Structures are given as C-alpha cells and as structure tokens.
Chains A and B, each alone.
Chain A
C-alpha cells in the first residue's frame, strides 16, 4: 500500500529525519496561508500515488504566497498525468507546500526487502534526484548496497560505509548514517515494503534533508497497522479497482476487451497470457480467490459487467476447494434484470460441475462451455469473429 508524500514525511519526522518545513493544503487559500507562514520561496507539490510528478507539472516553484495560491488553484481538482499513470491521470485533492531549500548535493536512499538476499537491503547512491531505475540499468555500480542482519538491524557503521563509498566527506558520514538508521527504524516499525528518499539532499548550510519521500507498507502487515490501513486513498485508484479492492478481490484493469474471471493468481495470469497469445486482449486481471463464495463471485462479475470496454467474458475456474455450482450461482447473481447481455465462455473444473453447468443452461444467457483452456480460447476467438 502506498502512502502519500506528506504522510511519509510525517512518519520520517517522527523518527528523527529532517524534512522541509511546510504544510498540507486542500484549498488555494490554505496553500497561500502555508506559504505566508514559510515567509520565503516555496514549492507546491501535488499529492498523488504516482511518481514522475516534476516533469508532469505536479511540482511547482513559487516565489511569493500569491504564486503558491495560483499553483494550488491550477493543481487542486485537476488530474495529473505522469509517465507512471494512465492517460486518465490521478486526481489531485491536496498539495504540500514546503520551503524551497538551497541544495548542494542530491543523493538517493532506499530500503527494500530483497528476495535474493532474503533480507532487508539499504541502498544509497550519489546519483540522487534522477530516475533511479535508469541509474540501475545504465550505471548499476553507482548504487551501493548493505545487507541488514535481521537480528541486530541496520548499523551506523554500515551507514558510514555507504556515505564514504559514495565519496562524501568523512565529516558528513556520521550524520548521514544517523539519517539512514532513522529511515531503517521507520521501515521496520511500519512494516514497509519499500522506502525511498529521492532525493535526500545536503543543503548549502550542511543539513541533510529528505526532499521527497515514498513509503509503501506491506499489504500483508496491515492487520497490525490499523492506523496506516485507514490512510489508503481510494480516489487514487481506477474506480473499478477501488471497488474490487474494497471487496478484497485482486483486480487490475487492463486495456483489452475480454473480461476475465479466474481463481488463483498464477492461473489468472496464465489465462491472460493465453488470451493475448491468441491475438485477443484481456480487459483485466481478476483473481476471486481459492474459496470463491457466491457473493464474492457476484461482486467480481459485477465489476466486469460495469467495465464498458468488456465485450465478452471468459470464466476460467479450476475448482480445488471451490464448488462449480457456487461459482455459477455467483455469476448468475450478477445478471440482475436490466443488466446488459454479454456472451460468455465458461470453463469450470471441480466438484459439482454438472450442477454448475445446469444452472448456466437454465439461465438463458449466451454461454459457451469449454472443457479445456485450449477449447476456451478457441471459443473466444469464434465469438470475437462473429461479433
């Protein structure tokens, strides 16, 4: 789960990291008031769940409070389209107004849980302020890593080592290491899956400040962080993704026209791959989960039907635990009177298969049954040719 920049910075600050002075604004007047309080040049930053804001005009410099108000007027209520969003962009409901700092150097600081090392890894680079993915691709030697021992945690000496290996003066190494330790403490305390400070800046007056901040919290750890779970900003999601997410269904909107309903993540991806390999295009990833009770399936099917891009639907459920008649009941439940008609290809396997198929037959809906994934894809192609 992503946190907004202002939420991340509040956490960092609580753990002793230096962040720019500033305040959050939901209206242009509030933005002006924050700028007046800061009494100097400031930056107005759109608070959205997407990177690439600067190039998209989501981060704007203001010399005077009136200018901050103008920027806030332009940003608030707009949709920001960045390299990381779709063409529809993400809505800006709040801006962060912060003091502009005089920057001497820009560094990168990141923490991840590394699958290869099976541990937490702290990363630092002197190539801060740029696209770190590009640095990793073109100059991997510029990204330095320290693997953390999970028992003792990240140690100050590792921070000093990173600082010195980045070519920073020894005089700065201790204070930089302290900032790294603070970030590591946030990471552990808040069950993060990713922490990135890009850039972490050294100001002309020698302070080390987190100019930007991005914390992602491990979704699987939210059960012990109710306060953080409550921060999720559903306005930042595609509306259908938001509905699925609130119902606990794993759903990702894609740009094709074959609506897909599957159980199991691997099966869902494989089905999408098979659709794509046949020359058709999946409209979504959707995993209803292993148990697949009728109400969940009905919600999932409802989401597919609500997507105007969906022209046909493939149901591919391999019931191990799930019963086929439950799946059928859930799907049929979504077809309330007045619901648009849509051709479906249904491939079901598992317990109570015949009962499930009988329910579909009795429904009067346009359903083609398939015995295998191969048959299902062929049936979809025939449907698509006929449509």
Chain B
C-alpha cells in the first residue's frame, strides 16, 4: 500500500523533451513507473524511447493516453502555467520538480487549485516514490529505497535521500516517501501528507524531516494534537546551527522570527508526542529502535 502514487498511476511528463525530463523519464521507466505520455507545446507527435507519445497539450494527453498524474520539469518562468494547465485538464496529482518559481506566482497557483480536486506536491521538490508499488514520480535515486511500512515526509531533497539511505541500511523499508518541497509556498504541506499516511493501512509510522523557516512543522504538531495523526512520528528538524536572517539555500529556509527557529519546531513536535531524532547521523538507528 502507499499514498499518492501506486500501480494505477498513469504518469504524464510535462517538459519530457528537455534534458532533465528525458533523463528522469528514462529512470522512472526503468524503475517501473507507468509513464503514459509527455507534453511539450510544439512537440506533439514525437515519441520518447519509441514508446511514450508526446502531445502538445495536457488535455490531449488525458484524453488519448488516460494520464491521471503529472510530473513537471518545465523551467521556472513557465512552470506555473504548466501546473495550471494540468489542474485544468483534470489531472489529480501534480508533482512539480521545478525550483525557483516566484512566490507571487505560487500565491496565484494555490488560489486556483483551491477550487479543484487536485493534489500538488512541490514545487522545488524531489517528488514521490512508493517502492512497494514500483512507482517513482520524481528525481530521487531509485536504488536507496526498499519496500516497507514507514512513510517519509520531507521539505528537503538530498537530506531525504540520506534519511532513506539510513533507513534502508537499518532494515527499515518505506511505504511512500514524499518530498513536499523547499519553498515557502507549496501545494501539500506536512498536514495533508500526514492525513494521507494516517489513512494508509500500509504505513505504520512516519519520519518527518523539517527545517528552519515558516510554520509547516508547527501546523503538523497542531494537527497531531487535534487527533488527525495517531501513528508514531519520528521528527528531524534541520538548521539548528543556522544563523538568523540568512537564506540557507531553500527559499523557505530562513529564520525570520521565533517560530522559524529549529528549536521552536522541535519543541512543538515533541510536545505533540513525536520522537525527536537527535542527529542527522542517527536517523536509521533512531527509527529502527523506536519501531522495536
């Protein structure tokens, strides 16, 4: 079992004909993901690896190839348009990998999506993978994952890989790993992902990887306290050593007030009953011990 993606996922790749799109589509196909179509305006009629048809429009990909999920590799200036096009065409899961979308564009995008029955993951995220379903909708290295019953939700890319690598080496398999993205404004936040994991019979516990900036971790803590998530939660918050007022790579990773501090987030999550992972070097070990 899994959340968001599974064997029924029929994936469309927006921006398939670009360098990044081609590379990762090949990787996703090799992993077992059912990539049914690509979409690039002006490139309709082409085929990728002689088997994946490319269409000019998302609407066409939905109608002709039955796409129900989309991954976006479109450059930042056009990525908001790509998200809106997918949502308008009735795609139910949109995973936006693109980094560097202006925040005010995301304000409009999220406003548009509020009226639609769609889940957006990202932008600026590694995507979603479910090892048990052999479904990878993202750019993460496939080989570090192993099927299992622990979910992962994270604001980071490479730190998620590190966490998964440690889990796998400790013998802890994953149900689904979700990178929600490093921007201040993303589609699904921790709360939405935790709600999905709560309802997933294939997930026994969740590893949450947060970082400085914003209030996403506090919202997760409030959600747990309100009874929305009842499974064991292991939490790591990166950036305890970060100075205030400086953007630490991610647009969302900046300490602008007390709530943005790693210590505030850790306190909120601990108060909600989460087991705090003491060091990024001991993620696998902590979860393994916690799972008994």
Identify which of residues 252-272 in chain A touch chain B, using a CB-to-CB cut-off of 8 Å. Answer: 252, 254, 262-272
With both beta carbons as reference points, the residue of chain A lying nearest to B278 in the complex is identified as: A277
Total count of chain A residues near the partner, CB < 8 A: 55
With both beta carbons as reference points, the residue of chain B lying nearest to A118 in the complex is identified as: B110
Q: Which residues of B contact A150 (CB under 8 A)?
A: 107-108, 111
Q: Is the CB of B107 within 8 A of A120?
A: yes
With both beta carbons as reference points, the residue of chain A lying nearest to B102 in the complex is identified as: A221
**How many angstroms between the C-alpha atoms of A282 and B241 in the bound complex?**
8
Q: Indicate whether A89 reaches chain B with its CB closer than 8 angstroms.
A: no
Q: Which residues of B contact A84 (CB under 8 A)?
A: 245
Q: Which residues of B contact A377 (CB under 8 A)?
A: 281
Q: Is the CB of A273 within 8 A of B239?
A: yes
Q: Which residues of A contact B250 (CB under 8 A)?
A: 265-266
Q: Indicate whether B253 reaches chain A with its CB closer than 8 angstroms.
A: yes
Q: Is the CB of A115 within 8 A of B216?
A: yes
Q: Indicate whether A350 reaches chain B with its CB closer than 8 angstroms.
A: yes
Q: Which residues of A contact B195 (CB under 8 A)?
A: none
* A269 and B241 contact, Cβ closer than 8 Å, known pairs A218-B102, A373-B281, A377-B281: yes
Q: Indicate whether A287 reaches chain B with its CB closer than 8 angstroms.
A: yes
Shortest CB distance A370–B (Å): 11
Identify which of residues 337-362 in chain A touch chain B, using a CB-to-CB cut-off of 8 Å. Answer: 349-350
Q: Is the CB of A115 within 8 A of B242?
A: no
Q: Which residues of B contact A349 (CB under 8 A)?
A: 165
Q: Which residues of A contact B248 (CB under 8 A)?
A: 250, 252, 265, 268-269, 285
Q: Is the CB of B214 within 8 A of A266?
A: no
Q: Indicate whether A372 reaches chain B with its CB closer than 8 angstroms.
A: yes
Q: Which residues of B contact A266 (CB under 8 A)?
A: 154-160, 182, 209, 211, 238, 250, 253
Shortest CB distance A231–B (Å): 17
Q: Is the CB of B251 within 8 A of A219?
A: yes
Q: Indicate whether B249 reaches chain A with its CB closer than 8 angstroms.
A: yes
Q: Indicate whether A206 reaches chain B with its CB closer than 8 angstroms.
A: no
Q: Indicate whether A137 reaches chain B with its CB closer than 8 angstroms.
A: yes
Residue from A274, A285, A319 within 8 A of B280 (CB atoms) = A274
Q: Indicate whether A275 reaches chain B with its CB closer than 8 angstroms.
A: yes
Q: Is the CB of B162 within 8 A of A188?
A: no
Shortest CB distance B223–A (Å): 13
Shortest CB distance B12–A (Å): 22
Q: Is the CB of B216 within 8 A of A270?
A: no
Q: Which residues of A contact B201 (CB under 8 A)?
A: none
* A113 and B241 contact, Cβ closer than 8 Å, known pairs A265-B249, A269-B212: no
* A318 and B162 contact, Cβ closer than 8 Å, known pairs A115-B184, A373-B280: yes
Q: Which residues of B contact A133 (CB under 8 A)?
A: 257
Identify which of residues 190-211 in chain B touch chain A, using a CB-to-CB cut-off of 8 Å. Answer: 209, 211
**How many angstroms between the C-alpha atoms of A265 and B124 in the bound complex?**
11
Q: Indicate whether A191 reaches chain B with its CB closer than 8 angstroms.
A: yes
Shortest CB distance A141–B (Å): 16
**Total CB contacts across the A-B interface at under 8 A:** 167
Q: Which residues of B contact A254 (CB under 8 A)?
A: 241, 243
- A191, A221, A269, A277 — most chain B CB neighbours (10 Å): A269
**How many angstroms between the C-alpha atoms of A69 and B16 in the bound complex?**
62
**How many angstroms between the C-alpha atoms of A270 and B240 in the bound complex?**
8
**How many angstroms between the C-alpha atoms of A36 and B208 in the bound complex?**
62
Query: 1/0 per residue B174-189: CB within 8 Å of A?
Result: 0000000010110000
**How many angstroms between the C-alpha atoms of A150 and B108 in the bound complex?**
6
Q: Indicate whether A386 reaches chain B with its CB closer than 8 angstroms.
A: no
Query: 1/0 per residue A215-235: CB within 8 Å of B?
Result: 000111101100000000000
Q: Which residues of B contact A223 (CB under 8 A)?
A: 76-77
Q: Which residues of A contact B49 (CB under 8 A)?
A: none
Q: Is the CB of A269 within 8 A of B211?
A: yes
Q: Which residues of A contact B76 (CB under 8 A)?
A: 220, 223
Q: Which residues of A contact B214 (CB under 8 A)?
A: 115-116
**How many angstroms between the C-alpha atoms of A220 and B166 in the bound complex?**
33
Shortest CB distance A340–B (Å): 25
With both beta carbons as reference points, the residue of chain B lying nearest to A151 in the complex is identified as: B111
Shortest CB distance B80–A (Å): 11
Q: Is the CB of B165 within 8 A of A318?
A: yes
**How many angstroms between the C-alpha atoms of A266 and B160 in the bound complex?**
8
Q: Which residues of B contact A191 (CB under 8 A)?
A: 102-104
With both beta carbons as reference points, the residue of chain A lying nearest to B282 in the complex is identified as: A374
Residue from A271, A275, A320 within 8 A of B161 (CB atoms) = A320
**How many angstroms between the C-alpha atoms of A137 and B160 in the bound complex?**
33
Q: Indicate whether B246 reaches chain A with its CB closer than 8 angstroms.
A: yes
Q: Indicate whether B141 reaches chain A with its CB closer than 8 angstroms.
A: yes
Shortest CB distance B155–A (Å): 7
Q: Indicate whether A193 reaches chain B with its CB closer than 8 angstroms.
A: yes
Shortest CB distance A198–B (Å): 15
Query: 1/0 per residue B248-275: CB within 8 Å of A?
Result: 1111110001100010000000000000
Q: Indicate whether A384 reaches chain B with its CB closer than 8 angstroms.
A: no
* A270 and B104 contact, Cβ closer than 8 Å, known pairs A115-B184, A250-B248, A287-B249: no
What would be 14 A-B contacts, judged by CB atoms less than 8 Å apart? A219-B247, A223-B77, A265-B253, A267-B162, A268-B248, A270-B159, A270-B162, A271-B280, A273-B238, A273-B241, A273-B279, A274-B279, A318-B158, A318-B162
Question: Which residues in B have some Cβ–Cβ distance to A below 8 Å?
Answer: 23, 76-77, 100-105, 107-108, 110-111, 126, 139-141, 154-162, 165-166, 182, 184-185, 209, 211-212, 214-216, 219, 236, 238-243, 245-253, 257-258, 262, 278-282
> Nearest 5 pairs between A and B by C-beta?
A266-B156, A265-B249, A264-B158, A266-B159, A270-B280
Question: Which residues in A have some Cβ–Cβ distance to B below 8 Å?
Answer: 84, 113, 115-116, 118-120, 133, 136-137, 149-151, 188, 191, 193, 218-221, 223-224, 250, 252, 254, 262-277, 282, 285, 287, 290, 318-321, 349-350, 372-374, 377
Known: A115-B184, A272-B242, A318-B161; 8 extra A-B contacts, CB below 8 A, are A113-B103, A113-B107, A115-B216, A223-B76, A250-B248, A273-B240, A320-B141, A320-B157
